[in-house]
């Protein structure tokens, strides 16, 4: 059952964008124009009893008219306003990541496993095909140079996938000691104990070092500069570098008692969503000129996704929010 429980006035910018972590497969859809408005947007909350799966939602993606959600027990689908659980994943494993490529192939990152969904809606394990073990959970799946990458905290696997899965090759296994990779303007960064690496030609190349710093994720500031986020602050790699706009954002975070970041979602090269948690839970929508919106929520947000109808979906520690388009 849907529960429409509040209306929120947002000053928010919805962009035409290419999400680097997911591919919209909707054919015939027009790109969205830049839109800035003040609007009442309905927030709908779906509990686990609504979508009949586990309450934690770790990943969201879209293919055609299906919105896919990765939960602690598998995959849940929202299609034509109906919830479905018709993709069978063996052992009801935790789904940490979902990626849909330009050819409508759906790739899945799981606990100690990764694979794809075949044309019969069945999960097929790629890791078992190559007897890959000991890499723990796959948190990120992405495409780079027409190849598919599955990333855990200890390994990154590079796969060549073609012919609907009839031709799969393991191209490279890359050792890493990383938290989640960050995908910025078609570049892939890995953070390892304060060291920043970029993935180039299936190898991790050293970029910079941030000594004695916890790094949650990386954001682009402009063409020549990157920021990193620690628990609750945005900082340049060069700690001597100052910027009034970044200082303004950090001051806002401090004033509003935003103490812990969890993850981010890039709309375009200048605009981001950042989820935060702690005494307060919610998401920030910001560019590097201003905070566009601060949406307070009841639950910690694990995953974020704009669908092709311009609805914002939020997967949380306890259910799913949908912030409807205007």
Q: 85, exposed or middle or buried, with CB in 10 Å at 0-12, 13-18, 19+?
A: middle
CATH number corresponding to 3-323: 2.130.10.10
Q: What is the pLDDT of residue 211?
A: 66
Q: What is the pLDDT of residue 40?
A: 63
Ordered mean pLDDT values, 10 residues apiece, the chain (326 residues): 38 32 32 38 92 94 95 93 86 88 94 92 93 93 93 93 88 83 86 85 88 78 80 80 86 91 85 91 88 92 94 96 86
Residue 252 falls in which region: left (phi positive, over 0), alpha (psi -120 to 50) or beta: alpha
Within 10 A of 195 (CB to CB), how many other CB atoms are there?
Answer: 17
Angle at 16 between CA 10 and CA 20, to 5 degrees: 105
Q: What is the pLDDT of residue 322?
A: 95
Backbone angles phi and psi of 33, in degrees to 5? -80, 155
Residue with tokens 């639950």: 299
Determine the Cα–Cα distance for residues 108 and 61; give it in Å rounded to an integer.
10
Q: What is the pLDDT of residue 11?
A: 31
pTM: predicted TM-score of the whole model, two decimal places: 0.85
Q: What is the pLDDT of residue 125?
A: 94
Q: How far from 142 is each of 17, 101, 269, 290, 304, CA to CA, in Å?
A: 17, 8, 18, 29, 16
Q: What is the pLDDT of residue 253?
A: 92
Q: 44, exposed or middle or buried, with CB in 10 Å at 0-12, 13-18, 19+?
A: middle
């Amino acid at each position: 059952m849907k529960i429409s429980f509040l209306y929120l006035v947002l000053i928010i910018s919805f962009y035409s964008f290419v999400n680097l972590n997911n591919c919209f497969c909707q054919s015939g859809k027009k790109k969205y124009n830049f839109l800035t408005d003040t609007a009442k947007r309905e927030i709908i909350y779906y509990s686990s009893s609504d979508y009949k799966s586990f309450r934690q939602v770790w990943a969201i993606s879209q293919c055609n008219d299906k919105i896919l959600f990765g939960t602690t027990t598998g995959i849940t689908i929202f299609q034509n306003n109906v919830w479905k659980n018709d993709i069978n994943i063996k052992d009801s494993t935790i789904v940490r990541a979902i990626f849909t490529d330009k050819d409508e192939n759906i790739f899945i990152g799981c606990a100690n496993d990764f694979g794809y969904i075949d044309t019969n809606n069945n999960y097929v394990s790629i890791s078992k095909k190559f007897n890959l073990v000991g890499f723990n959970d796959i948190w990120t799946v992405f495409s780079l140079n027409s190849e598919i990458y599955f990333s855990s905290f200890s390994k990154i696997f590079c796969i060549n996938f073609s012919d609907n899965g009839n031709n799969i090759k393991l191209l490279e296994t890359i050792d890493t000691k990383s938290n989640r990779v960050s995908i910025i303007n078609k570049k892939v960064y890995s953070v390892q104990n304060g060291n920043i690496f970029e993935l180039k030609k299936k190898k991790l190349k050293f970029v910079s070092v941030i000594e004695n710093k916890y790094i949650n994720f990386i954001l682009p500031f402009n063409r020549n500069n990157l920021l990193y986020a620690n628990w609750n602050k945005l900082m340049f790699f060069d700690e001597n570098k100052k910027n009034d706009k970044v200082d303004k954002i950090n001051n806002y975070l401090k004033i509003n008692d935003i103490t812990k970041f969890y993850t981010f979602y890039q709309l375009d090269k200048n605009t981001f969503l950042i989820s935060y948690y702690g005494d307060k839970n919610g998401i920030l929508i910001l560019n590097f000129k201003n905070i566009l919106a601060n949406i307070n929520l009841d639950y910690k947000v694990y995953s974020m996704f704009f669908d092709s109808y311009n609805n914002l979906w939020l997967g949380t520690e306890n259910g799913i929010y949908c912030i409807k388009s205007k």
